[in-house]
């Protein structure tokens, strides 16, 4: 469990946030599925870091503001978030949609960012064809998230509560509004990624069936000196499916980034 769940108001928008641990600051930006629980991955990071996990505007228990109509809106919101929470030298981590937000933020301003970790990020158009996630049923989307189908089976065996259904609808509506057209990418993002000057780690599940792992090469081609890690036997959520392996890879990278050591690619 997190040390606390708080509801800060940032520029007039109230959000939910999990917080736990002590040490250097980590901010984790979640993906399109939303924020549900404090996971083993967060707990592993909290053994060494102060971990902040905000729930995006438009998701779950956070406000759904009228200004929210693009990923760029969210990246600007999180710049306000870092300032309002007085967070400096932050290790910024994002998965999927959250990775897109984190990358977009880092092209704009890294004054408060010490490092960037992107886990299966959206934002760039894959070279190989990918399915339209907005046409998937709930059952299909759960199955596509994981390489280990036993995890999907366990999740699908539990009927969602009315609150979970409401959050699911809210999350899907927001994702459709900000990321459906063009499909899960910004045609202009690749042109800005060279502006990212902080140590960057691209981490991908080898068996990702949401965004192909081959897309990782697009990120490492344009972000200067980005490190790449492929997690075997993992799908779109390696930090959930292989939490031990992924957390160790992330902590190793963060410790080196904090010491300003040159990255060995």
Domains and CATH numbers, the chain: 4-258 (3.40.50.1820)
Tokens for 216, please give them.
């990782």
Rounded Cα distance, 19 and 26, in Å: 10
Give, rounded to a whole angstrom, the gap between the first and last alpha carbons of the chain: 35
- pLDDT computed for residue 23 by the predictor: 96
Q: What is the pLDDT along the chain (265 residues), one digit of tens a residue?
A: 678 999 999 999 999 999 999 999 999 999 999 999 999 999 999 999 999 999 999 999 999 999 999 999 999 999 999 999 999 999 999 999 999 999 999 999 999 999 999 999 999 999 888 889 999 999 999 999 999 999 999 999 999 999 999 999 999 999 999 999 999 999 999 999 999 999 999 999 999 999 999 999 999 999 989 999 999 999 999 999 999 999 999 999 999 987 654 444 3
pLDDT for 263: 43
Written as one string, the DSSP assignment of 68-108 is --SHHHHHHHHHHHHHHTT--SEEEEEETHHHHHHHHHHHH
Residue of 256, 259, 213 whose CA lies nearest to 233: 213
HSE on the CB side for 82, CA within 13 Å? 24
pLDDT for 130: 81
**pLDDT reported for residue 62:** 98
Q: What is the pTM of this model?
A: 0.96
For residue 237, the model assigns a pLDDT of: 98
* 182: preceding bond cis by omega (within 30 degrees): yes
71 and 51 in contact (C-beta within 8 Å)?
no
Quote the pLDDT of residue 2. 77
Predicted pLDDT at 128: 84
- Who's near 194: CB < 8 A, 6+ residues apart? 222, 223, 224
Nearest to 57 by CA among 49, 66, 48: 66
Give the per-residue pLDDT at 113: 97
- The CA distance from 213 to 205, in Å, is 7
- pLDDT value of position 260: 54
């Amino acid at each position: 469990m997190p040390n606390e769940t708080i509801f800060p108001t940032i520029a007039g928008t109230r959000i939910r946030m999990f917080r736990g641990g002590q040490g250097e600051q980590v901010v984790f930006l979640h993906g399109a599925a939303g924020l549900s629980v404090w996971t083993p991955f967060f707990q592993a990071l909290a053994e060494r870091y102060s971990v902040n996990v905000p729930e995006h505007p438009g998701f779950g228990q956070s406000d759904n503001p009228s200004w929210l109509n693009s990923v760029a809106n969210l990246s600007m919101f999180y710049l306000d978030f870092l300032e309002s929470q007085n967070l400096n030298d932050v290790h910024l981590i994002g998965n999927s949609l959250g990775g897109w937000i984190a990358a977009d933020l880092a092209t704009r301003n890294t004054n408060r960012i010490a490092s960037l970790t992107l886990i299966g990020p959206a934002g760039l158009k894959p070279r190989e064809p990918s399915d339209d996630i907005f046409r998937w049923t709930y059952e299909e989307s759960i199955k596509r998230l994981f390489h280990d189908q036993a995890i999907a089976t366990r999740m699908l065996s539990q009927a969602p509560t009315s609150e979970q259904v409401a959050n699911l609808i809210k999350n899907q509506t927001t994702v459709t509004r900000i990321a459906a057209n063009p499909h899960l990418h910004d045609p202009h993002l690749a042109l800005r990624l060279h502006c990212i000057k902080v140590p960057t780690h691209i981490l991908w599940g080898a068996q990702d069936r949401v965004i192909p792992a081959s897309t990782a090469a697009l990120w490492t081609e344009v972000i200067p000196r980005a490190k790449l890690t492929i997690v075997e036997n993992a799908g779109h959520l390696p930090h959930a499916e292989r939490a031990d392996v992924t957390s160790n890879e992330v902590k190793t990278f963060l410790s080196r980034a904090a010491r300003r050591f040159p990255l060995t690619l």
